Structure 1
């Protein structure tokens, strides 16, 4: 059995030495890199060969890769690298890595073409100047073979270990049994659907009710399928930290099985954001500044070995390894992702523009499964990933603090910026595209600022750096601007007769075109949540393939456990809110007096919440109340939730779609009811109207309103109502307060197990079933 490794991964393992050095280098975007490669090839003769697939075996190692180009007339193998700034500023260990790759490709080509010697060239192409620098060395095939074997010998011991681990892992997973005495109701159905889709290599959308154990119900079947489907990696992706912990807890339980011990079982890795993992936030990521970057690659082998021996690496364990070896824990994590079986992290690690897990999957040709928890959140998260904003205030701040050499470029950008909205009369306007003059000014300014920052590594002008990275993100999305996004300008508050500035936005409306390649790169993906209905909405907007399977798992709960009462005599529309306050407070007080306990009351905004809460406090001072406030800290959130105890009573006021509307678990008498005083619809404003127009143009006018307003709104309502019934012994009540809940198109979006009543048809409008 041979161990397969890509040339790039082989060299990254064997050829890197010295410090971690991430000093500012204004690297080109992926599209610019492809264009740079094309520009180099366009200057080559017709006989030039590009993207040559190469492979060879050495002992038990199979090495494969794709060489950038070969000129048969000159007998020259070329490794093309694109860059910005000054070539001499490139760290020496980066150049050494490039040579290692080029020489291995040269040997593989000599072997394929039976050449005795070859010229090996590093071609550095300056994206900004459109010039190339050629560095050429002549090599005998025999010396290149020796170079190749040296690198393989350095890697083979590790490859042997990895093959032994893989065999032991697969044997352990094959023998693994479900780590609980029995499946919960509904959990087995979910697991069976996930397992079948994994075996078929077919993506799956799974709607499964809260409380059935979705985390274990998806992890277990995928892990069981890994040996049979040759799955290399499992990525468990979440929207929130709490979701990560649930996955880690489930994996710890699975890993604790005797046949799946720490030494022979799955390797689990938790990914943590850079700003949370950094030990020295006041220092730069290079050996001259940070002690944890000093000699990083020299110390890495010992730390890597200890980490994989530990097998279970949550952020605490990983930090401890980093401390023992004096290595940056964040960058150590990036290295260990290559050698882990299960990686738990945020959505952005696979779905974002610069997603590390996605790029490693493509570069290493991994066979992966992606599990996306609480996947209803992925639409909005992905929109943010593929949107970019530029604020005029940031430009002006950077212009004021910039050195004289940058003033002209930033002034020119400001002129083009202001010209773009000179004739705009409304505060918000969508444009057909980015004005060419503005785009050119951004390109010029970003290039000049990037060169300056590359030459002045110690510069601490945060306003300039912020502007620069904002411009880069904006320009990268501008390269792929299409019907999935809009370009809009928002005028900022006016001073006198003139606006005080403008905010430019490339706003993604439909993330599907960006996410489609992510799903295509995965052997198998499962998006699961308690609210993924209707499935066509999520499949269309997220870019899941048309043949993606769908399962709606039956709930383990009984209709008798939850009274769902529609208060259709009340309207919570904006124009009716003042009239709605009194009946809402009266309803809440009546329900509480009928059955004292803990309740959550949800509103569409903090303003609406405050109005109802003030009235309730005046009218019913004897009933305990507490509220969610804007920008709550973690300690404040914990204090809010601590009010919900088995023996306590009161009403918590919260905002629908906020921190207390999903992802919290208050079983039993900790929460016995909820009031939802809104339909949850997004606010009708110019941005959301533009979203509706985009949905109509892409998916058809009949879907426009539902995709932009109705489905996102009802998803929040169902999530909030789902806080009440958490186990098969809970009982509770949910009041849906708005006349629109009686509409057939709205009722169709309710969970199937709900039995809906109407307040004007029942005498006891809220008495719980005991």
Structure 2
């Protein structure tokens, strides 16, 4: 079977190939692939944790009598496929096999597709026992065990061995046909990657050095930090090298992770150039399956409908149509968000959940960093569950520090809680009032506007945990209250808070921030309670250990000790700093030593800043970007420039800009355009945009980029000082200058570009700041002039 041939239920015609070894597959994986039926049903059903499930199995089996066998290992062969697993329980005297599933709430509301999967597993185990013991008949019992009440709900059936065998062989044929196709695809993919050539006539300066470093690191299964200047083609170089190293690694998946939407598109463009797609993306050139993943709310076709068959037409019969959609998607190979959506709608299935299925069968997945690094991240979970050999490429990796901090932080707002309390179902009133009293107790104990607690408050957490259990039970019995309303939203926030609280340690901070006014209907202003991750490294170490190799790359990874410390990178992490291919003569970097953008000096800075910008614009008209530390400062500077130099065209970033507004802002930068675009440093236009040639000839950076001095950042500084001895640098200086270098990197995008960057703050003259700027910059004080 060729790698492009596919059907919903592959049938084998070559008996010799059919008997070739296919390796082992777990019973759960076999059934999950071949036995699901019916609707996609994501109505809320509270599920036990992994440890609770294990404890529940133990409780059920402990109730059985002497001679009852637990965790019975079973295996069976079918045409080169070995199916294996452990049956939960076997009563030889009664010839009864038990399959145990733990749950919360009413067993009657367990989704039909889940029941179909559970019965399929029980019947596969039933056949393997019949085969092993020579039984003609067997009783199968599916037991749903409520871990909260201890109640067992047994469902039983008696089956003939011949019927179970036919069921087993049908599942095996469905799966093994797919498995043989996958083996052929893998062989063709690896052969193509071994022969892969760089898609350009030659490497750019610095690009080969980067590609070689990535190849060596991935071939050795190591982590690499790579700092390489903007404009040398980092995306193409890292993808080429990682794919080239994949066959020798036995790599299953390459995950390309980015913190920005623009990064996804750059990766897809590079993959297309490497040959993963032709002008018609549905016809792959390389036998390489590429999948783009977007957030569920951006992929949803019916945001006004709930995710179950009674509401959404794309959820109705999802698992019945999934095999054909999956086969077509595998044959298509190229599944960016547009191609995936079109294919999914052609088969009348949900695009988001088809994409989730196709992650299992893709070679390269492109998505946000949260897919792998978030608490409970799906990509990381599947990597562990299936034992995938996975490699990572982390684009703009300097962003991962703040993104990871956010992933492992949580906050509960008293205003949202009080709004919920006023409108919640009566059955939850007691639990809500209990938490309300604990919140009041925290308010009474708070002595200042901002208070740091030594650990998450025990009594508050206990009340929160009890309330979450009550809400979970309520939603299981009243699924209509879980249809995306405020109760479910707050419940998910509370569950996340609990999970983060369980991880609390010296890497995190628990604090209370006093709110200015009591919430409506309350007499006391309750504090905002926050769990803030300060050092994500200890929580990311299991992510680094789960992968075969990883490259973190950016134009701003310096100082590398700072990044490695905060991200918890392995001690043997490799490092490479690729020299810039750009000459100092291409970029005039000028400091304005007479301007201070410190908070106390901002009003005084406005006039000299406006005059400097106007003088540079007069000396060399064209397109410029001006970056500021806040929207308020931006507005003041824009107003002063318009007052003093009204002839200069200007446009400005605004708060909460949507995608169309951002695109319109960028569209103003044309080859023949002139003017100054005002933006906030660290925002949407400070990195990830490409304005080559005359589209952008200069930038004004009116800030050192330092984070705001506030109680939280001062706590962070103290913690980082104690842990690393570099509190101020790690909290303020390094992240600030990284943003500056990123923003300045918008100006020079190729070896043909020339431009000017103005650093509008006297602190840029300091040696400790200068050392953090790119070595190829020639920084000088000077007057505006044309190049």
2:287 aligned residue: 265
User: 1:718–1:334: structure 2 CA closer, same or farther, 3 Å change rule?
Assistant: same
User: Does the 8 A contact of 2:262 with 2:689 survive in 1?
Assistant: no
Residue deviations 1:382-426 (CA, integer Å, cap 9, x gap): 222221221111111112212221211111111112212222132
User: 1:164–1:399: structure 2 CA closer, same or farther, 3 Å change rule?
Assistant: same
2:768 aligned residue: 745
2:439 aligned residue: 417
Question: C-alpha root-mean-square deviation of aligned residues, in Å?
Answer: 3.1
Cα deviation for residue 351 of structure 1 reads 1.4
Structure 1 stretch 279-288 or stretch 590-599: which is displaced more? 590-599
CA distance in 1, matches of 2:678, 2:621: 16
1:610 aligned residue: 635
Match of 2:360 among 322, 338, 341: 338
Cα deviation for residue 68 of structure 1 reads 6.5
Cα deviation for residue 135 of structure 1 reads 6.1
Q: Pairwise mapping of residues 314-329 of structure 1 onto structure 2 (< 5 A)?
A: 314-329=336-351
Structure 1 stretch 463-472 or stretch 653-662: which is displaced more? 463-472
User: Does the 8 A contact of 1:3 with 1:163 survive in 2?
Assistant: no
Structure 1 stretch 318-327 or stretch 81-90: which is displaced more? 81-90
Cα deviation for residue 448 of structure 1 reads 1.4
1:765 aligned residue: 783
Structure 1 stretch 59-68 or stretch 540-549: which is displaced more? 59-68
User: Does the 8 A contact of 2:276 with 2:286 survive in 1?
Assistant: no
User: 1:153–1:735: structure 2 CA closer, same or farther, 3 Å change rule?
Assistant: same
CA distance in 1, matches of 2:289, 2:201: 24
1:22 aligns with 2:45: no
CA distance in 2, matches of 1:67, 1:385: 37
2:303 aligned residue: 281
1:714 aligned residue: 737
User: 1:253–1:72: structure 2 CA closer, same or farther, 3 Å change rule?
Assistant: farther
CA distance in 1, matches of 2:771, 2:44: 54
2:399 aligned residue: 377
User: Does the 8 A contact of 2:443 with 2:525 survive in 1?
Assistant: no
1:61 aligns with 2:81: yes
2:313 aligned residue: 291
Cα deviation for residue 31 of structure 1 reads 5.6
CA distance in 2, matches of 1:40, 1:686: 51
User: Does the 8 A contact of 2:192 with 2:287 survive in 1?
Assistant: yes
Q: Pairwise mapping of residues 208-607 of structure 1 onto structure 2 (< 5 A)?
A: 208-255=228-275, 262=284, 265-459=287-481, 462-494=485-517, 500-607=525-632
CA distance in 2, matches of 1:609, 1:463: 36
Cα deviation for residue 131 of structure 1 reads 5.6
User: 1:119–1:638: structure 2 CA closer, same or farther, 3 Å change rule?
Assistant: same
Cα deviation for residue 210 of structure 1 reads 1.0
User: Does the 8 A contact of 1:564 with 1:755 survive in 2?
Assistant: yes
CA distance in 2, matches of 1:435, 1:36: 29
User: 1:491–1:37: structure 2 CA closer, same or farther, 3 Å change rule?
Assistant: farther
Unaligned runs of 5+ in 2: 1-20
CA distance in 1, matches of 2:317, 2:602: 63
Residue deviations 1:421-453 (CA, integer Å, cap 9, x gap): 222132222211222221121112111122222
User: 1:744–1:168: structure 2 CA closer, same or farther, 3 Å change rule?
Assistant: same
Cα deviation for residue 18 of structure 1 reads 0.9
User: 1:34–1:724: structure 2 CA closer, same or farther, 3 Å change rule?
Assistant: farther
CA distance in 1, matches of 2:509, 2:58: 29
Number of residue-to-residue matches in the alignment = 761
CA distance in 1, matches of 2:52, 2:113: 23
Cα deviation for residue 502 of structure 1 reads 2.6
User: Does the 8 A contact of 2:510 with 2:530 survive in 1?
Assistant: yes
CA distance in 2, matches of 1:38, 1:710: 54
CA distance in 2, matches of 1:749, 1:662: 18
1:725 aligns with 2:726: no
CA distance in 1, matches of 2:87, 2:706: 52
User: 1:740–1:452: structure 2 CA closer, same or farther, 3 Å change rule?
Assistant: same
CA distance in 1, matches of 2:569, 2:128: 38
Structure 1 stretch 583-592 or stretch 407-416: which is displaced more? 583-592
Cα deviation for residue 134 of structure 1 reads 6.1
User: Does the 8 A contact of 1:263 with 1:311 survive in 2?
Assistant: no
Structure 1 stretch 597-606 or stretch 737-746: which is displaced more? 737-746
Cα deviation for residue 551 of structure 1 reads 1.1
SS of 2:480's equivalent in the other structure is coil
User: 1:634–1:232: structure 2 CA closer, same or farther, 3 Å change rule?
Assistant: same
Cα deviation for residue 78 of structure 1 reads 6.4
CA distance in 2, matches of 1:204, 1:415: 50
Residue deviations 1:622-659 (CA, integer Å, cap 9, x gap): 22222211111222222222222222222221111011
1:734 aligns with 2:757: yes
Residue deviations 1:603-631 (CA, integer Å, cap 9, x gap): 11111112222222111122222221111
CA distance in 1, matches of 2:617, 2:322: 61
CA distance in 1, matches of 2:73, 2:604: 71
CA distance in 2, matches of 1:224, 1:98: 41
Residue deviations 1:554-591 (CA, integer Å, cap 9, x gap): 11111111122233333221122222222222222222
User: Does the 8 A contact of 1:609 with 1:653 survive in 2?
Assistant: yes
CA distance in 2, matches of 1:324, 1:613: 50
Q: Pairwise mapping of residues 116-265 of structure 1 onto structure 2 (< 5 A)?
A: 122=142, 124-129=144-149, 148-255=168-275, 262=284, 265=287
Residue deviations 1:346-365 (CA, integer Å, cap 9, x gap): 11211112322111111111
User: 1:461–1:589: structure 2 CA closer, same or farther, 3 Å change rule?
Assistant: closer
CA distance in 2, matches of 1:263, 1:73: 59
User: 1:623–1:88: structure 2 CA closer, same or farther, 3 Å change rule?
Assistant: same
Structure 1 stretch 132-141 or stretch 203-212: which is displaced more? 132-141
Structure 1 stretch 183-192 or stretch 66-75: which is displaced more? 66-75
Structure 1 stretch 634-643 or stretch 410-419: which is displaced more? 634-643
CA distance in 2, matches of 1:23, 1:752: 56
2:9 aligned residue: none
User: Does the 8 A contact of 2:623 with 2:673 survive in 1?
Assistant: yes
User: 1:365–1:110: structure 2 CA closer, same or farther, 3 Å change rule?
Assistant: farther
SS of 1:422's equivalent in the other structure is helix
User: Does the 8 A contact of 2:22 with 2:180 survive in 1?
Assistant: no
Unaligned runs of 5+ in 1: none
User: 1:35–1:674: structure 2 CA closer, same or farther, 3 Å change rule?
Assistant: farther
Residue deviations 1:650-677 (CA, integer Å, cap 9, x gap): 2221111011111111111221111111
1:658 aligned residue: 683
User: Does the 8 A contact of 1:733 with 1:766 survive in 2?
Assistant: no
User: 1:429–1:671: structure 2 CA closer, same or farther, 3 Å change rule?
Assistant: same
CA distance in 2, matches of 1:726, 1:53: 60
User: Does the 8 A contact of 1:173 with 1:224 survive in 2?
Assistant: yes
CA distance in 2, matches of 1:250, 1:108: 48
Cα deviation for residue 190 of structure 1 reads 0.9
User: 1:69–1:623: structure 2 CA closer, same or farther, 3 Å change rule?
Assistant: farther
2:669 aligned residue: 644
CA distance in 1, matches of 2:539, 2:735: 20
